[in-house]
C-alpha cells in the first residue's frame, strides 16, 4: 500500500517529450514519485543519485539497463491508450479528451 510518506519512485527513460509528459501525468495521478530522463546518459546520472525500484525504459535505451527487467515505455503508453479507448467504446475523441492528448496522437501511437 502506498501512503503519502512512502511513494514508490519510478525512473522514466524516454526521448520523446510527448510520451514523457503523458507517462509523468499518469504516474503522478496514481501517486507515484516520478523522475524523468531524456536518454540513457541522464538515466545513469539519476541512478547515481538515487536507487529506483521501478525503471520504465524506451526500447532504444534498454541496452543500458541489462541488469533490470524493464518494459518499453512506448508499450506501456500504448497499453494504457488501448485501455482508455476500450472504456470509451472506441470513441477516439472522448478517449483523447480523458487522456489530455490530441485524437491524432492516439491514432499515431496505435499505428506503431
Q: What's the total number of domains in the chain?
A: 1
Give the per-residue pLDDT at 66.
45
Separation of alpha carbons 71 and 76, rounded Å: 7
Question: Coil, helix or strand for 32?
Answer: coil
Q: Check if the beta carbon of residue 80 is closer than 8 Å to that of residue 27.
A: no
Q: Check if the beta carbon of residue 33 is closer than 8 Å to that of residue 58.
A: no
User: Domain of 92: which CATH number?
Assistant: 1.10.10.60
Kindly state whether residue 44 falls inside one of the protein's structural domains.
yes
| pTM attached to this predicted model | 0.52
**pLDDT range class, residue 95, cuts 50, 70, 90:** confident
Cell numbers for 17:
517529450
Main-chain phi, psi angles of 13, to 5 degrees: -115, 110
Q: Is the pLDDT of residue 103 over 50?
A: yes
Kindly state whether residue 3 falls inside one of the protein's structural domains.
no
Question: Coil, helix or strand for 39?
Answer: coil
Structure-model confidence comparison of residues 109 and 21, the more confident one: 21
Kindly state whether residue 1 falls inside one of the protein's structural domains.
no
Kindly state whether residue 106 falls inside one of the protein's structural domains.
yes
Kindly state whether residue 76 falls inside one of the protein's structural domains.
yes
In Å, what is the CA distance from 42 to each residue of 29, 35, 52, 60, 65? 24, 11, 14, 14, 13
Q: Is the pLDDT of residue 2 over 50?
A: no
Which residues constitute the domain of residue 15? 9-111
Amino acid at each position: 500500500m502506498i501512503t503519502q510518506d512512502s511513494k514508490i519512485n519510478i525512473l522514466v527513460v524516454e526521448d520523446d517529450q510527448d510520451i514523457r509528459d503523458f507517462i509523468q501525468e499518469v504516474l503522478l495521478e496514481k501517486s507515484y514519485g516520478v523522475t524523468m530522463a531524456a536518454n540513457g546518459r541522464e538515466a545513469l546520472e539519476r541512478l547515481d543519485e538515487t536507487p529506483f525500484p521501478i525503471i520504465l525504459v524506451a526500447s532504444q535505451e534498454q541496452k543500458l539497463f541489462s541488469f533490470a527487467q524493464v518494459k518499453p515505455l512506448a508499450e506501456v503508453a500504448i497499453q494504457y491508450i488501448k485501455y482508455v479507448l476500450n472504456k470509451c467504446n472506441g470513441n477516439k475523441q472522448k478517449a483523447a479528451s480523458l487522456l489530455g492528448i490530441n485524437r491524432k496522437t492516439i491514432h499515431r501511437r496505435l499505428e506503431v
